[in-house]
Amino acid sequence: MTHTQTTRRDFLARSGAAGAGFGMTSLLGSSRSLFATEESMKALPFPKGKAEHCIMIWLGGGSCHIDTWDPKRKGDAKAKDKKPGSYYDAIDTAIPGTQLCEHLPQCAKILDRFNILRTVHHEVIDEHAAATNRVHTGRPTSGTIVYPSIGSIVSHQRGPVNENAPAYVLIGYPNVTRGPGFLGAGAGYVYLTDTSAGPAGFTRASDVSTARQSRRERLLTTVRAEYLSRATGGTTIKDYDTSVSEALRLSGPQFMNVFNLDGEPDTLRESYGGEFGQRCLLSRRLLQSGVRFIEVAHNLNFINGTGWDTHNDGQLNQHLLIKELDNALSTLVLDLEKHKMLDKTLVVVASEFGRPAQFDGGGGRGHHSKSFSVVLAGGGLQNGKTIGVTNELGMTIEDRPVSIPDLHATIHCALGIDPSEELYTNDDRPVPITDMGQPVRELFA
């Protein structure tokens, strides 16, 4: 019997009686003991944060940690031996002893509002979809159950801040990894792919008057009720009906006015930058309307041709992506702070994995999941901390590993959610919110 099996059984046996989970963190590449003692595994009360909202900025493709948040000695992709290392120089920050890539100067100035988790890890390496699913759901892909994303869990547990907004908005393309899984459509998201208009289908045609729309909705209500009374389609029909109800609830002017970015000062819009920056500005407005969880995709591949998946030539213009992120992210943090929302809003900057220090044949980088960085800002946390240490090339963890379940537990605790609480599948199977994740307790008072 392995240590892992023993720990899982111990967790399941004790969590039912004690109402809390036991965490086990894999110390990949760590100099510490691989397994904690029994005494240190005893459950501690979970911290309960005061954040009301979460914005997750998703760097799809696998952003390179040593070219952004965890710079190392400088390499040379053009050298004969393709010397491994960071692609850019490092600069000092508002956190003494912590440096960032030279293309993150605005974030560097205000890094005391941030925390950097430099030792996040999982074991999925060469498959973007599986790694994206792992980071969003906190669990391996399963052939028997579709797990909910972290956005859907937050939506399910906390709901919208008020009845005039959805709980969960995705600014990017819809994907099952962002979805509600076994929680059903009630924990799903509203999505849009650009900031020039609200979600597709929420705005009625210009030739449909308010009175005509009301008549349509009354007729639809009757038809839906009659159909549901006869339907035998199980959860599929109920989920569709739930989606219809949500669309009708949000299609009025109160929520749709959130998308009128022209109401913001020109100087602020310019400071946020292009389309990605406007997505971040819209996120602040969505939070003010009552949205609980927002994912903002930074997937503007045309800037460097590949987005954050910087194989081969994608590496050459990676700095354009980093600069765009720096500009929009720093503006978002300061804008939230100006509106007295930063302490109530947890900003998470994440990707499916990092990238290795070595360069590939085309001068780019492959995939690396054994150590990479996730950044947190605001959220009422003890900010200004750099958690974890990687080796001289950022390839292995030397101190304080943070698993994906640990990351999820940290986010949930910041939002006042108990990460050991159980959810239930359609067949009443209990599933803890995290897979035995333990929060990064250094970030809580």
Q: What is the mean pLDDT of residues 400-412?
A: 98
Q: What is the mean pLDDT of residues 60-70?
A: 97
Query: Is 69 found in the same domain as 86?
Result: yes
Whether residue 243 is predicted with pLDDT greater than 60 in this model: the reply is no
| pLDDT at position 32 | 40
Would residue 17 count as lying in a domain? Answer: no
Q: What is the mean pLDDT of residues 343-354?
A: 98
Query: Is 297 found in the same domain as 327?
Result: yes
Q: What is the mean pLDDT of residues 385-408?
A: 98
Query: Is 328 found in the same domain as 221?
Result: no
Whether residue 422 is predicted with pLDDT greater than 60 in this model: the reply is yes
**Alpha-carbon gap, residue 291 to 167, rounded angstroms:** 5
pLDDT confidence tier of residue 401, bands split at 50, 70 and 90: very high
Report field, pTM of the whole predicted structure over 0.95 = no
Query: Is 196 found in the same domain as 236?
Result: no
Q: What is the mean pLDDT of residues 388-398?
A: 98
Would residue 185 count as lying in a domain? Answer: no
Q: What is the mean pLDDT of residues 321-344?
A: 98
Query: Is 231 found in the same domain as 122?
Result: no
Would residue 89 count as lying in a domain? Answer: yes
Would residue 398 count as lying in a domain? Answer: yes
| pLDDT at position 61 | 96
Whether residue 393 is predicted with pLDDT greater than 50 in this model: the reply is yes
| pLDDT at position 23 | 34
Whether residue 382 is predicted with pLDDT greater than 80 in this model: the reply is yes
| pLDDT at position 229 | 63
In sequence order, the 6+-apart residues with CB closer than 8 A to the CB of 112 are: 94, 95, 383, 384
Q: What is the mean pLDDT of residues 370-376?
A: 98
| pLDDT at position 197 | 72
Would residue 3 count as lying in a domain? Answer: no
**Alpha-carbon gap, residue 390 to 81, rounded angstroms:** 23
Query: Is 274 found in the same domain as 422?
Result: yes
Would residue 9 count as lying in a domain? Answer: no
To the nearest whole number, what is the mean pLDDT of the chain? 85
Query: Is 139 found in the same domain as 89?
Result: yes
Query: Is 378 found in the same domain as 241?
Result: no
Least confident of 6-10, 220-224, 294-298, 390-394: 6-10
- Provide the number of structural domains found in the chain: 2
Would residue 395 count as lying in a domain? Answer: yes
Q: Which two tokens stand for residue 174?
A: 């819809």
| pLDDT at position 303 | 85
| pLDDT at position 340 | 98
Residues of the chain with pLDDT > 70, as a percent, come to: 78
Query: Is 198 found in the same domain as 224?
Result: no
pLDDT in tens, 188-236: 999 998 887 777 555 555 565 556 655 655 665 666 566 656 665 556 5
Q: Which two tokens stand for residue 112?
A: 């005391």
pLDDT in tens, 107-163: 999 999 999 999 999 999 889 999 999 999 999 998 889 999 999 999 999 999 998
| pLDDT at position 221 | 62
Whether residue 18 is predicted with pLDDT greater than 70 in this model: the reply is no
Query: Is 194 found in the same domain as 134?
Result: yes
Query: Is 277 found in the same domain as 224?
Result: no
Would residue 258 count as lying in a domain? Answer: no
CATH code of 121's domain: 3.40.720.10
Least confident of 14-23, 43-52, 87-96: 14-23
| pLDDT at position 35 | 40
Taking Cα atoms as reference points, which of 359, 408, 367, 340 lies closest to residue 56?
Answer: 408
Higher pLDDT, 420 or 39: 420
Host domain of residue 134 = 50-180+190-203+266-338+345-443
Whether residue 176 is predicted with pLDDT greater than 70 in this model: the reply is yes
pLDDT confidence tier of residue 16, bands split at 50, 70 and 90: very low
Whether residue 374 is predicted with pLDDT greater than 50 in this model: the reply is yes
Query: Is 117 found in the same domain as 199?
Result: yes
| pLDDT at position 142 | 86
| pLDDT at position 57 | 98
Least confident of 11-25, 36-50, 144-158, 266-280: 11-25
